[in-house]
Chains A and B, each alone.
Chain A
């Protein structure tokens, strides 16, 4: 199996009032294509930080991050933006939909950066929304949807571009049990049926059960499973 994500000796610090706060310490990690990885660990251990580095929305202080054969730590700002659009789907804890756009428009958003025609975009958006079971909510605004439905729209937005990897930061963190389990079933399906590589941060041991591998992060270091 070949590793689609390679994190090599990564250090990450934040600076607050010129005091260095080390978050990740010499962290290395490989994720194989088609894997569903759950990242667990206490609050403040650096899970979100690691996920952001893998997804290319933040840069390591030191070390390499290679995703699908690209060393993204070496890309400049605009190539990195382009790379994200092409390769990564994001799911956040708080859904992060644009409130003035309908479900359809939110899912269409990443496709505006592609060369797809309006008709092609429509086909993709409708497919993505039907995968998450919301084909009948196209014209609803986020505030007209339940939390679980909002998160499903967010997942549709994450998969509509058919990204190389899917990253999810506590996707069930803000949901009730039933909605959470629907989301997890969906993630599982995306992994098994659509062969998506998924890295998911979660606090919830139940959520982690769906994953094919679990890793624990503690004080910026991975500890054995």
Chain B
């Protein structure tokens, strides 16, 4: 028999109590993992932005369009290497609940400005050639079982009517946090029809994406772009893609902060639960600790005995929790409509924090029982009546 065996036997002395505590830790770690996953996704969708891209939008609001003629003007500014534009099309694909971004773009430049969207050269070529074709992200292709050559029909809302597309290509993300849930098609295709059906809305784009040579010059170039259109009928506001992304999700920012705090509050709560279990156990064993001390077991031994038990319980609950995070996050990803979160996966940092939390819980929960066991004198331990 070794100390380890005694630790094990102690931990499972009250099986129900220990199992409930372990279950509590498991649930807490899963909740922690889920919350952290959402938080890190939000952080990394901001991180996924490129420092060398600026977004130019209508100064008053993102929802107002800009003239397509700005493209050439912006391109003429020193330090700008490329300019593309996009328009939010929205529309409905089959069902209102199918969320994913549907945007009309300048096909000639779009993929140059977004090098993280990886597309086969031949597919891109075909896309550029065929006016009513589209490119979709790999996630969308997978979810709706679409392949190249398949038709895709959108019911327009912002741009009313029925819009028929053919899939010319499927792009993949270069990084794990690249959005693979977009549907991209020709701005020209939309614009040609607007010229006929609603001429006042023709030749308008949603926003410009400006690629610059030196990210350090983003402030100056932004200012130059906005100066160009000052006092025109459509003034602009230019900012880095990162700042833009942060604004765009600003409202969810508060929720994310709350989740951030919550994820650690959960760890705090579970720490109280485990500490409570440990304090109860140690209290019941006051006499046994006195026996062990009488037999010559030292402070070090009791320390190992109590800490070991606390860590054992934390580790069992924690490992079950961590091993369940992956399937549960995956389940969430499948259950959620595509496009709410462009990507959803467990970051290694989340697992790292989960492990740190488990160790922390194990240590902190042992502090009071250890302090109590060591400070109780043997004679008082024997006279103790639970």
The answer on A and B forming one complex is: yes
A residues at B contact (CB < 8 Å):
52, 55, 57-58, 77-78, 81-82, 84-86, 90, 92, 96, 98-101, 105, 108-110, 112-113, 157
Specify which chain A residues have a CB less than 8 angstroms from the CB of B297 in the assembled complex: 81, 113
| B13 at interface by CB-CB < 8 Å | yes
- 5 closest A-B pairs by beta carbon, nearest first, are A85-B296, A100-B9, A57-B378, A110-B295, A84-B296
9-residue interface stretch from B79-87, B248-256, B285-293, B317-325:
B285-293
In the complex, whether B294 has a CB less than 8 A from a CB of chain A is yes
**Secondary structure dominating the interface of B:** helix
B295 touches A84 (CB 8 A): yes
Q: Which residues of B contact A (CB under 8 A)?
A: 1-3, 5-6, 9-10, 13, 287-288, 291-299, 377-379, 382
* Contact across chains for A101 and B294 when beta carbons are under 8 A apart: no
In contact, A58 and B378 (Cβ under 8 angstroms):
yes
Supply 19 A–B pairs (Cβ within 8 Å), ascending by A: A52-B378, A57-B379, A58-B378, A77-B299, A81-B296, A82-B296, A82-B298, A86-B296, A90-B294, A92-B382, A98-B6, A98-B291, A100-B9, A100-B10, A105-B1, A109-B1, A110-B296, A113-B295, A113-B296
Q: Is the CB of A78 within 8 A of B379?
A: no
Bound together, the chains give a CA A52 to CA B382 distance in angstroms of 11
CB atoms of A57 and B294 under 8 A apart: yes
State the Cβ distance, B169 to closest chain A Cβ, in Å: 67
Chain A residue contacts of B294, Cβ below 8 A: 55, 57, 84, 90
Please report the C-alpha to C-alpha distance between residue A85 and residue B296 in the assembled complex, in whole angstroms: 5
Chain B hits for A84, CB < 8 A: 294-296
Q: Are B379 and A58 in contact (CB under 8 A)?
A: yes
Q: Please pick, from A77, A101, A105, A109, the residue contacting B295 in the complex, using a CB distance under 8 A.
A: A109
> Chain B nearest CB: distance from A52 CB in Å?
6
Q: Given A52-B379, A58-B379, check contact A81 B1 (CB 8 Å).
A: no
Total of A-B residue pairs, C-beta within 8 Å: 58
For the residues of A in contact with B, the DSSP-based class is: helix
Q: How far is B296's CA from A201's CA once the two chains are assembled, in angstroms?
A: 22
B298 to chain A, nearest CB (A): 5
Give bound CA distance, A81 to B5, whole Å.
22
B295 to chain A, nearest CB (A): 5
Give, as a whole number of angstroms, the nearest-CB distance from B14 to chain A: 11
Q: Are A112 and B3 in contact (CB under 8 A)?
A: yes
Q: Which residues does chain B contribute within 8 Å of A109, judged by CB atoms?
A: 1, 292, 295
Residues on the B chain within 8 Å of A78, using CB: 298-299
Are A101 and B6 in contact, with the CB atoms below 8 A?
yes
Q: How far is the CA of A90 from the CA of B296 in the complex (A)?
A: 11
- What is the distance, in angstroms, from B280's C-beta to the closest C-beta of chain A? 16
Q: In whole Å, how far is B155's beta carbon from the nearest beta carbon of chain A?
A: 69
Q: Which residue of B lies closest to A78 (CB)?
A: B298
**CB distance A100 to B13 under 8 Å?**
yes
A170 to chain B, nearest CB (A): 12
* Contact between B296 and A101, CB atoms less than 8 A apart: no
Q: A92: which B residues are within 8 A, CB to CB?
A: 382
Question: For residue B383, which residue of chain A has the nearest CB?
Answer: A48
Q: A81-B293, A109-B292 are in contact. List 5 more A-B contacts (CB 8 A).
A: A82-B298, A85-B295, A90-B295, A96-B382, A157-B295
Q: Which among B1, B298, B382 is the interface contact of A101 at CB below 8 angstroms?
A: B1
Whether B2 pairs with A81 at a CB distance below 8 angstroms is: no
A78 to B291, CA, bound (A): 15
Give the residues in chain B near A100, CB-CB below 8 Å.
6, 9-10, 13
By beta carbon, the residue of chain A nearest B5 is: A105
Choose one: A57, A81, A96, A110; the contact of B298 (CB below 8 Å): A81
Q: How far is the CB of B354 from chain A (nearest CB, A)?
A: 31
CB-defined contacts of B2 to chain A, threshold 8 Å: 112
Q: Considering residues A81, A82, A96, which has the most beta carbons from chain B within 10 angstroms of its beta carbon?
A: A81
Distance from A44 Cβ to chain B, minimum over Cβ atoms (Å): 13
Provide the bound-state CA to CA distance between A84 and B308, in Å.
25
Contacts of A99 in B (CB 8 A): 13
**Which residues of A lie under 8 Å from residue B296 when comparing CB positions?**
81-82, 84-86, 110, 113
Question: Chain B's nearest CB lies how many Å from the CB of A74?
Answer: 18
Verify B379–A101 contact, CB threshold 8 A. no
State the CA gap A84–B294 with chains docked (Å): 7
Q: Which residues of A contact B5 (CB under 8 A)?
A: 105
CA distance A86 to B295 in the complex (A): 9
A158 to B92 CA separation, bound complex (whole angstroms): 83
Q: Which residues of A contact B382 (CB under 8 A)?
A: 92, 96
- Give Cα A105 to B3, complex, Å: 11
Residues on B with C-beta less than 8 A from A58 are 377-379
When distances are taken between beta carbons in the complex, the residues of chain A under 8 Å from B295 are 84-85, 90, 109-110, 113, 157
Cα-based distance from A95 to B9 in the complex (angstroms): 20
